[in-house]
């Protein structure tokens, strides 16, 4: 037993909080519970039937003895021997008269009970007919009154040794104990082997995750085990998370590199003009004015770039204050306040009244300003810019259309990427940073909407924002 205990302790002590340990513990507990229930059921059933059989036999002897005593007057011992021997030698009977005089005894009565004080009679009503003798074991007993035809009365005490029942119960206990012990030992070993085999794919997945954790390479993936759908789903889900993290990491890395490059460009230009001023600006007023104007433009561009970078960095953490927004009034407000006083080529056509959405007014205004800024920048003075707002079913369609230079077909899928500019030279001249459309797309998507673009070179572009309207 000590060896077995040490074996299982060494096997499971380190992993006491694992599924394997819990499975084996559950098995041992369940086996013991089942063995106890079955053992008690068998013992109670066997005991009941043996008691019933003994009671029936005892009742038959009692009836026969009582009938004999009713006819007998003198030869009580002889009649008792005739009844008991040889078929019922395991019974002990003592016959007494009404005056408590012993009339007859079965063989062995004196050796069994006389002078033996170590007897216990059970007081429980269910066990009141049982007597425990330290030397001879357990007996089933009964007291019976008798009377013969002459009016003589008395009692006789009858006992039968339950030795066979004791031996049977002891044997059953030993069998059950040995069976339970062997079942626990071999069953635990088999459960350990089976559990280890079935958990092998899970352990493989866990070890793969640990190895990935030790390395900073997000390209590593967990091999998907075969055969267990739950583990396939687990590994697949983990790999999907890694894919998203890898994609996000690449975007952030690209964003950082692009941001660094974009910030270095105006700083380099400013340093160049400062060097020019240091050399010639003190003596040449024209160079001084040109350099100051260029540095002012570059500083403004860098200010816009920093502002938009901050907007992008906060977009994932800022919670929009969405409320029921009168989109029609918001669109008209942006056009009236920002563009109509200074640019007459901007036209409002097809602005439908009383369209409401759930959104953040400041963010929606920012999106419209970004689209209008781009339209103004890339549309000649002779061109036109149209803004329309219509409702189609449960959707609101906000369109900004211009007659500008257009966007090449191959660039349409890229214009919403951060820092992407179709014409870098012109974008720099107009102060573009390549972040505006990326910010607009992020805001629209966070309002559960979409933004689309159609464009043709030298004919113009059309940006369409689709947002769900607010319910009543």
Encode pLDDT of 309-361 as tens digits.
Answer: 676 666 555 556 778 899 999 998 888 776 655 554 677 778 888 899 998 88
Q: Residue 326 — left, alpha, or beta (φ > 0 → left; ψ -120 to 50 → alpha)?
A: beta
- Please name the residue that has the structure tokens 């990935």: 212
Are 294 and 257 contained in the same domain? yes
Residue closest to 402 by CA, chosen among 466, 332, 343:
343
- Determine how many CB atoms are found less than 10 A away from the CB of residue 378: 21
Are 59 and 74 contained in the same domain? yes
CA distance from start to end of the chain? 77
Are 52 and 151 contained in the same domain? yes
Q: Tokens standing for 337?
A: 């306040």
Higher local confidence (pLDDT), 311 or 152: 152
81-125 pLDDT, tens digit each: 888 888 888 888 888 888 888 888 888 776 665 544 444 444 444
Are 190 and 123 contained in the same domain? yes
Higher local confidence (pLDDT), 453 or 78: 453
Are 137 and 244 contained in the same domain? no
| Torsion (CA) 60, 62, 67, 69 in degrees, nearest 10 | 150
Are 54 and 169 contained in the same domain? yes
Is 154 inside a domain boundary? yes
- So what's the pLDDT on residue 258? 58
Mean pLDDT of 290-312: 72
CATH number, domain of 306, equals: 1.10.287.130
Highest mean pLDDT among 11-25, 60-74, 301-315 belongs to 60-74
- Its domain, for residue 238, covers 226-318
d(CA 128, CA 187): 43
Contact 455, 434 (CB under 8 A): no
Is 410 inside a domain boundary? yes
Stated as kind and residue range, the H or E segment containing 309 is: helix 285-315
Are 17 and 92 contained in the same domain? yes
Are 159 and 127 contained in the same domain? yes
CATH number, domain of 381, equals: 3.30.565.10
| Torsion (CA) 251, 253, 255, 259 in degrees, nearest 10 | 180
d(CA 104, CA 95): 5
Q: What is the mean pLDDT of the chain?
A: 77
- Give every CB contact of residue 341 below 8 A, 6+ residues apart in sequence: none
Q: Tokens standing for 414?
A: 């890229």
DSSP structure class, residue 469 = B
Is 371 inside a domain boundary? yes
* Number of domains observed in the structure of the chain: 3
Measured CA to CA in angstroms, residue 54 lies from 51, 62, 164, 396 at distances of 5, 12, 11, 94
DSSP string, 4-30: HHHHHHHHHSTTTTSHHHHHHHHHHHH
**Percentage of residues of the chain with pLDDT beyond 90:** 9
Backbone phi, psi, residue 347, to 5°: -120, 140
- End position of a domain, from candidates 160, 188, 214: 214
**Range name among 8-22, 32-46, 270-284 with the lowest pLDDT average:** 8-22
Residue closest to 375 by CA, chosen among 413, 329, 335:
335
Residue closest to 107 by CA, chosen among 123, 85, 126:
85
- End position of a domain, from candidates 184, 214, 244: 214
225-268 pLDDT, tens digit each: 776 777 778 778 888 888 888 777 776 776 676 566 556 666 77
pTM of full prediction above 0.85: no
Q: Tokens standing for 132?
A: 């425990």
Q: Tokens standing for 181?
A: 């012990």
Strand partners, 108: none
Task: Please state whether beta strands 153-161 and 137-147 pair in parallel, antiparallel, or not at all (unpaired).
Answer: antiparallel
Are 333 and 239 contained in the same domain? no
User: Is the preceding omega at residue 86 within 30 degrees of 0, hence cis?
Assistant: yes
Is 220 inside a domain boundary? no
Contact 373, 343 (CB under 8 A): no
d(CA 295, CA 287): 12
């Amino acid at each position: 037993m000590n060896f077995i205990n040490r074996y299982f302790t060494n096997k499971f002590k380190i992993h006491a909080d694992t599924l394997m340990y819990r499975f084996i513990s559950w098995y041992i507990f369940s086996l013991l519970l089942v063995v106890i229930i079955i053992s008690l059921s068998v013992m109670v059933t066997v005991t009941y039937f043996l008691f019933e059989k003994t009671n029936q036999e005892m009742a038959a002897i009692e009836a026969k003895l009582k009938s004999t005593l009713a006819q007998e007057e003198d030869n009580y011992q002889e009649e008792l021997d005739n009844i008991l021997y040889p078929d019922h030698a395991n019974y002990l009977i003592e016959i007494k008269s009404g005056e408590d005089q012993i009339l007859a005894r079965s063989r062995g009565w004196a050796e069994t009970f006389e002078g033996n004080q170590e007897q216990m009679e059970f007081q429980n009503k269910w066990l009141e007919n049982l007597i425990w003798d330290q030397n001879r074991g357990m007996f089933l007993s009964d007291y019976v009154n008798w009377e013969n035809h002459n009016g003589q009365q008395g009692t006789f005490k009858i006992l039968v040794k339950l030795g066979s029942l004791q031996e049977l119960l002891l044997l059953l206990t030993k069998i059950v104990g040995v069976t339970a012990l062997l079942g626990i030992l071999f069953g635990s070993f088999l459960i350990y082997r089976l559990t280890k085999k079935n958990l092998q794919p899970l352990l493989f997945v866990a070890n793969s995750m640990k190895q990935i954790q030790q390395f900073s390479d997000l390209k590593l993936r967990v091999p998907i085990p075969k055969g267990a759908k739950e583990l396939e789903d687990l590994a697949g889900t983990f790999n999907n998370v890694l894919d998203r993290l890898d994609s996000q990491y690449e975007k952030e890395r690209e964003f950082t590199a692009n941001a660094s490059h974009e910030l270095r460009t105006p700083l380099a230009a400013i340093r160049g003009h400062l060097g020019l001023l240091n050399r010639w600006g003190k003596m040449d007023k024209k160079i001084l004015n040109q350099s100051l104007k260029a540095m002012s433009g570059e500083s403004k561009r860098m200010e816009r770039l920093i502002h938009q970078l901050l907007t992008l960095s906060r977009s994932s953490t800022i919670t929009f204050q969405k409320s029921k927004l009168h989109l029609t009034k918001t669109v008209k407000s942006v056009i009236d306040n920002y563009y109509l006083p200074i640019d007459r080529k901007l036209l409002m056509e097809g602005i439908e009244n009383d369209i409401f959405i759930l959104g953040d007014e400041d963010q929606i205004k920012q999106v419209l300003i970004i689209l209008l800024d781009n339209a103004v920048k890339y549309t000649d003075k002779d061109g036109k810019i149209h803004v329309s707002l219509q409702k189609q079913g449960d959707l609101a369609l906000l369109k900004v259309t211009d007659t500008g230079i257009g966007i090449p077909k191959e660039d349409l899928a890229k214009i919403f990427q951060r820092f992407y500019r179709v014409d870098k030279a012109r974008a720099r001249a107009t102060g573009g940073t390549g972040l505006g459309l990326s910010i607009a797309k992020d805001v629209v998507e966070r309002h559960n909407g979409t933004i689309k673009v159609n464009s043709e070179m030298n004919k113009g572009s059309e940006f369409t924002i689709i947002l769900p309207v607010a319910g009543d």
